[in-house]
Amino acid sequence: MGQLVILDRDGVINEDSSAFIKSPAEWRPIPGSLEAIARLNRAGYQVVVATNQSGVGRGLFDIRTLTAIHQRMRQELAAVGGRIDAIFFCPHAPEAGCACRKPAPGLFREIQERLQISLERVPAIGDSIRDLIAAHKAGARPMLVLTGKGQRMHLEAEAAGVPIFADLNAAVHAILGIP
């Protein structure tokens, strides 16, 4: 297996919404994000998504709808020559107290078990402090993008020494060593 990159979904790959992304029609890629994933794929990276999807636990949409949203993401990615190798998601509401909802590291542990690899130094790109904490707890290398909620988190990230990038495209350039 090649190298791995872990991505949050909302605010990293697609535009975030405080009202949740509840249908495939509401899913909109952030400009350049799909091409950035395709660039990682071409460089031999596996790309997986680790995403909190509490809209399921809150009853805003069901697993079938979530699958349809992910199908649209995969189709749009395929159109630019990219792919997501696996999607790991937490469907629980915040009050469920589960181990998989970020900032808990459960989704990252699941990735580690399923792929049988160490997450040490694996880039984990997110737009929220929850993403950064979960990545750090799992031993991965947190990276913040300023899209989505990232703009509000940059001071905490900076204080923690987490690298900060304008968007997924810029983060991918850094990973691949492209100036």
Q: What CATH number should be reported for the domain holding residue 99?
A: 3.40.50.1000
- Phi and psi, residue 94, nearest 5°: -55, -35
CB-based contact 140:3 (threshold 8 Å): no
* pLDDT value, residue 97: 94
138: nearest Cα among 174, 102, 163: 102
Query: Catalytic residue among 8, 16, 127, 131, which?
Result: 8
Q: Could you tell me the two tokens for 15?
A: 């535009």
Active site residue 127: no
Close Cβ partners of 85 (under 8 Å, ≥ 6 residues apart): 46, 47, 48
Domain region containing 153: 4-176
d(Cα 135, Cα 106) in Å, to the nearest integer? 10
CB-based contact 154:148 (threshold 8 Å): no
Whole-structure pTM value: 0.97
* pLDDT value, residue 2: 65
Q: Are strands 4-7 and 123-126 parallel, antiparallel or unpaired?
A: parallel
Under-70 pLDDT residues of the chain: 1-2
Number of domains into which the chain is organized: 1
Active site residue 62: no
pLDDT digits (tens, 9 = 90+) for 67-108: 999 999 999 999 999 999 999 999 999 999 999 999 999 999
Residue 39's SS3 state is helix
* pLDDT value, residue 179: 80
* pLDDT value, residue 177: 94
Q: What is the dihedral of CA 124, 127, 133, 138, to 10 degrees?
A: -20
Measured at the alpha carbon of residue 171, what is the angle toward residues 165 and 169, in degrees to the nearest 5?
100
